[in-house]
Amino acid sequence: MSDSTINGTSFTPERLRLAGFGALAGLCGWLLTDVLAEDLGGTRLHLVLTVLAGVFFADALAMAGQMRARAAVAGAALVALPVAGLALWASLRFASVEDMLRSPHQMLAVLLLAALPVPFLIARGIGAGSRDYPALFLAAWNIVVRYAAAWLFAGVVWAVVFLSDTLLSLVGITAIDWLISEVELVPWLLTGAALGLGLAVVSELAELVSPYLVLRLLRLLLPPLLVVMVIFALALPFRGLSGLFGTFSAAATLMAIALGGVSLISIVVDQTEAEAAHTPLMRGAARAMALLLPVLAGLAVWAVLLRIGQHGLTPDRVAGGLAALVVMGYALLYAASVLSGAAWMDRIRQANIAMALVVMAAAALWQTPVLNAEALSARSQLARFQDGRIPVVQLPLHEMRWDWGRPGAAALAELGAVTGHPDQAALDARLAEVNAATGRYAASSEPAGAPALDALRSSLTILPEGRELPDWMLDGLQQWETDGWMEACARTDGAGLPGCVLVIGEFLPAAPGEEALLFLNGGGDSVIRQGFVSSRGTEYRASAIFVAPAVDPGAEALFAALHAGDIRIGPASVSALHIGAAEVLLLPWP
């Protein structure tokens, strides 16, 4: 039997070592989640221990097989200690750890700080140096591919366990089920050991399980994505930007596509000139993509800035602005590299190293008072309220109370000290409502209060002119509904007209009473439609659809017509099939 066959089927010392290390990781996970959580759960000590153990074991396993074991353990500890310290520092801006964990931005910063230094440590560990791009590139993609393969193996192990339990249960043996369900430590140990063993085997078969196949396949996505980006850029002058900047999701889409382009360009450039794509199609597509990136990045930055100008800062917008700047950094460096001449690929490689360091620095600053998104947001919203740019009803009081930590609580206290405001009664009512809430969404699930209904009456455009918001609609409105309606009303068009219109009329002649159709600007060019039928009592909500044409005309055109009074109530442009007393309507879509 050959050595390769023996190595492929036996438990070598390295496999046993990594399986044991993975089991130790599982043991720590069990201790932190099931044992220590009973006494330390929710404390900052528990947060530090969890981040410390999670980062240490994840990074050590990621480096295993790519460098010496002791160096991997030391490197993992070198990353885990400062990351845990920064997480502790960031938690101090919140009253509790639970409040911090509700912030996805803090968790993302921790993940970035845990993951990005690892390729640099591997490059140094193998003697290549922390600026050796081939070593960094290969280390990063090895981590992705090997971890994916190892987790796939762990999933297969669990599939075998469940199938074995099912088979044995047919003859009355339930030992496996008892171990898994009753001994809480077993799933942790099994998963950790399987993951470690999978990583060991994958590392041994580095020539077979390598990132090259994945990278070659991903290269094929560059030309199609370039075509989409070119079509988008060519359509912009004709389509206009009004629908592009209506929602924050537009900026997120632009950034996601731009980052996808960055990734594909890096894959085409690869680690060295010898490994890079050589076909004119791929090289030309990469160069064209790099030159288009500043367009998408610029639009993303503009979209975020417009949202901030319209609605002020929130932690989401601070994070979005920072992400947009990172994307812009990549875009400008890539475009400059392409324009620099023949060595453009090498300059892109060096740009990737520089931007990785920038992202690590930004993630670290996010955890410190230097970049306290909650404090920035609280100051922004207070300033906008004090100078009259936002009314009481649009103050993000729930977010201040439940999501913005200590800065949010301080902002609420400052608002509570306000006296003599023109809308003082509404402010006091909203503050009392928020402070009395027992949970993040408790107030939203309650009936809308008088301040919210008054604000809705003053903001909602009601047609025909002269009509008022019907009492039968107000009686059943929930707070979350009025919040959503007011958010839509705040989305104004170029003429400053609100994005919320209610049309009252006899839409169902066979039903007693009146009906209403509500149109809300959903952001961008989307329209939210809802019907209301007074004869249904408390179950008065109904659906509203477009029949002719059978597609949404878009928010810009629809609200322009509504505010211009270009409406009439009449029979629908469809016919029904009458079968006895029944009617069958053919809807004009698949």
Q: What's the rounded mean pLDDT across residues 247-256? A: 80
Candidate ranges 80-89, 95-104, 501-510; pick with highest mean pLDDT:
80-89
Q: What's the rounded mean pLDDT across residues 361-389? A: 95
Domain assignment present for residue 78? The answer is yes
Domain assignment present for residue 493? The answer is yes
- Out of 111-115, 183-187, 465-469, which region has the weakest mean confidence (pLDDT)? 465-469
Q: Where are the beta strands (DSSP E) in 90-196?
A: none
152 and 246, same domain (yes or no) = no
71 and 191, same domain (yes or no) = yes
Q: What percent of the chain has pLDDT over 70?
A: 93
236 and 97, same domain (yes or no) = no
What is the amino acid identity at position 3? D
Domain assignment present for residue 420? The answer is no
**Residue 550: which pLDDT band, with cuts at 50, 70 and 90?**
low
- Quick: pLDDT tens for 73-82: 999 999 999 9
Would the pLDDT of 245 be above 60?
A: no
The pLDDT, as a whole number, for residue 230 is 94
- Model-level pTM greater than 0.85? no
- Which residues are within 8 A (CB) of 381 and not within 5 positions of it... i.e. 6 or more apart? 312, 313, 314, 390, 395, 396, 400, 411
* Token representation of residue 366: 């996010």
**Residue 8: which pLDDT band, with cuts at 50, 70 and 90?**
low
The pLDDT, as a whole number, for residue 157 is 96
**Residue 239: which pLDDT band, with cuts at 50, 70 and 90?**
low
- Quick: pLDDT tens for 38-64: 888 889 999 999 999 999 999 999 998
Would the pLDDT of 3 be above 50?
A: no
Q: What percent of the chain has pLDDT over 90?
A: 55
What is the amino acid identity at position 331? A
161 and 304, same domain (yes or no) = no
The pLDDT, as a whole number, for residue 276 is 92
257 and 158, same domain (yes or no) = no
**Residue 587: which pLDDT band, with cuts at 50, 70 and 90?**
low
Would the pLDDT of 242 be above 80?
A: no
Other Cβ atoms within 10 Å of 131 Cβ, number: 13
Q: What's the rounded mean pLDDT across residues 380-399? A: 89
The pLDDT, as a whole number, for residue 527 is 85
Going by C-alpha positions, the residue among 375, 269, 250 that lies closest to residue 330 is: 269
Please identify, among 371, 402, 430, the residue that sits at the C-terminal boundary of a domain.
371
171 and 274, same domain (yes or no) = no
206 and 221, same domain (yes or no) = no
Domain assignment present for residue 380? The answer is no
130 and 163, same domain (yes or no) = yes
Would the pLDDT of 552 be above 80?
A: no
Would the pLDDT of 143 be above 70?
A: yes
What average pLDDT is seen over the chain? 88
580 and 492, same domain (yes or no) = yes
Domain assignment present for residue 401? The answer is no
* Strand 576-579 with 541-542, pairing: unpaired
**Residue 494: which pLDDT band, with cuts at 50, 70 and 90?**
low
Q: Is the sign of the CA dihedral 120, 125, 128, 129 positive or negative? A: positive
Domain assignment present for residue 396? The answer is no
145 and 226, same domain (yes or no) = no
Please identify, among 371, 393, 413, the residue that sits at the C-terminal boundary of a domain.
371
Please identify, among 328, 354, 371, the residue that sits at the C-terminal boundary of a domain.
371
201 and 338, same domain (yes or no) = no
Q: Report whether 119 contacts 146 (CB < 8 A).
A: no
Domain assignment present for residue 378? The answer is no
The pLDDT, as a whole number, for residue 522 is 82
Specify the number of domains making up the chain: 3
What is the amino acid identity at position 205? L
Token pair 């009473």 is found at 513
- Quick: pLDDT tens for 152-163: 999 999 999 999
Looking at per-residue confidence, does 142 or 38 come out higher? 142
Distances in Å between the alpha carbon of 280 and those of 268, 284, 286, 288, 395? 12, 6, 10, 12, 55
Going by C-alpha positions, the residue among 179, 175, 197 that lies closest to residue 187 is: 179
Q: Domain limits at 110?
A: 3-210
Other Cβ atoms within 10 Å of 189 Cβ, number: 18
363 and 337, same domain (yes or no) = yes
Domain assignment present for residue 425? The answer is no
Q: What's the rounded mean pLDDT across residues 528-532? A: 87
